[in-house]
Amino acid sequence: MLKYLAKRFLTLIPVLLGVTFITFILMDIAPGDPAEIMLSRRDIEVTPENLERAREALGLGEPLPVRYLSWLQGVIQGNLGTSFTTGEPVSREIISRLPATIELAAGGLAVMFILALPLGTAAALLRGTFGDHLGRLTALVGASIPSFYLGLLLITYIAVPTQWIPVMGRGEGLIGLVLPSITLGFGLAATYARLLRANLLEVLQLDFIRSARSRGLKETVIIGNYALRNALIPVVTLLGITMGHLLGGTVVIERIFAWPGVGRLAVDAIFDRNYPVIQGYVLLMGVAFVFLNLLIDISYRFLDPRVKMEEGEGQTG
């Protein structure tokens, strides 16, 4: 197990080198000059001399490979550079935004599970009935409705008339989390409920379900212990990818609810050509994806004993 983890962590290195280097190149190719943007933001006249000085200050004078290597050197020492626009360390900027993003991701996933688990299961069990069709229709609507529209609907018809829930920002305690989580979770739930329904239908046709019935097990035990557990395995795979995306921030929802998350930070950084922040963000995403997928792979082990982590393990007979 430890050997396996070490191996997986080693794969992290080439992945991160790859994505950060590609981002570096892409940013360089992309039109727009960070020095120019910075000058105009600060109402300084854009003259060739001023531009030159600004470039120097931002460390843009060197050729690209040199810049990448010096950035890399900083990263190894735990220094992600400073933001072009605020002058704050990038790590501090990202860390200050991360809690809001994690909160929203957790809230969205919670809403997703609360909706998708019972709906997906019910749809599979009621296959072909009115309830199933209704559920599938709802899922279709949920999957098709754009999150900005759903978010605006919730704000207009729930937050504004009732005044219970803050319309914008995080508010006091967790109450501000409610509407963004619902907006996020609803769209996700549609996909997951459909996936769960399809998997469950497949598993319910397998022989071991018939065998469980032949032994007189209760239907609840058969669904919970036999069908759901096997049907959840593909769901967990998708969950790894979804969580990675959520940690990257959900730009649209963060915009609508004025949610101070990582996604907005990244989008603003892209508009400002704020290279260090973009680099820091990409690095975070790379780590998050690799790490979450590692977590998912480990969780397979508990869901499905047939999955072996390394040679010689898991086989006793």
Partner 1 sequence: MKEGRCLALIGESGAGKSITALSLLRIVPPPGKITGGEVILDNRDLLKLGKEEMRLVRGEELALVFQDSLSTFNPVRTVGGHICETINAHRRLPNGQAKEMALEKMADLGLPAGRVFRSFPFQLSGGMRQRAALAMALCLHPRILITDEATTSLDVTLQAQVLHYLKKHLEDCCMSILFITHDLAAAAAVADQVAVIYAGRIVEKGQLKKVFKQPLHPYTQALLRSHPSFCPGTLKPIQGSPPDLALLPEGCSFYPRCPEAAGICLSRVPEMLEVDSGRQVACHLVKSAILTKGEIAAS
Q: How far is the CB of 215 from partner 1 (least distance, A)?
A: 4
Q: How far is the CB of 112 from partner 1 (least distance, A)?
A: 23
Q: How far is the CB of 122 from partner 1 (least distance, A)?
A: 18
Q: Which is nearer to partner 1, 157 or 208 (CB)?
A: 208
Q: Which is nearer to partner 1, 33 or 297 (CB)?
A: 297
Q: How far is the CB of 192 from partner 1 (least distance, A)?
A: 20
197 phi/psi in degrees, rounded to 5: -60, -45
Q: Which is nearer to partner 1, 251 or 298 (CB)?
A: 298
Binding site for partner 1 (CB under 8 A): 205-208, 210-219, 221, 225-226, 229-230, 303-306, 315-317
Residue among 271, 264, 267 at smallest CA distance from 97: 264
Q: How far is the CB of 298 from partner 1 (least distance, A)?
A: 16
Q: Which is nearer to partner 1, 31 or 305 (CB)?
A: 305
Q: How far is the CB of 5 from partner 1 (least distance, A)?
A: 23
Q: Which is nearer to partner 1, 204 or 290 (CB)?
A: 204
Q: Which is nearer to partner 1, 130 or 164 (CB)?
A: 130
Q: Which is nearer to partner 1, 200 or 266 (CB)?
A: 200
- What is the spatial distance between Cα 309 and Cα 317, in angstroms, rounded to a whole number? 17
Q: DSSP characters for the chain? A: -HHHHHHHHHHHHHHHHHHHHHHHHHHHHSS--HHHHHHHHTT----HHHHHHHHHHHT-SS-HHHHHHHHHHHHHTT---B-TTT-SBHHHHHHHHHHHHHHHHHHHHHHHHHHHHHHHHHHHHTTTSHHHHHHHHHHHHHHHS-HHHHHHHHIIIIIHHH-SS-SSS--STTGGGHHHHHHHHHHHHHHHHHHHHHHHHHHHTSHHHHHHHHTT--HHHIIIIIIIHHHHHHHHHHHHHHHHHHHT--HHHHHHTT---HHHHHHHHHHTT-HHHHHHHHHHHHHHHHHHHHHHHHHHHHH-TT--SSTTSS---
Q: How far is the CB of 133 from partner 1 (least distance, A)?
A: 18
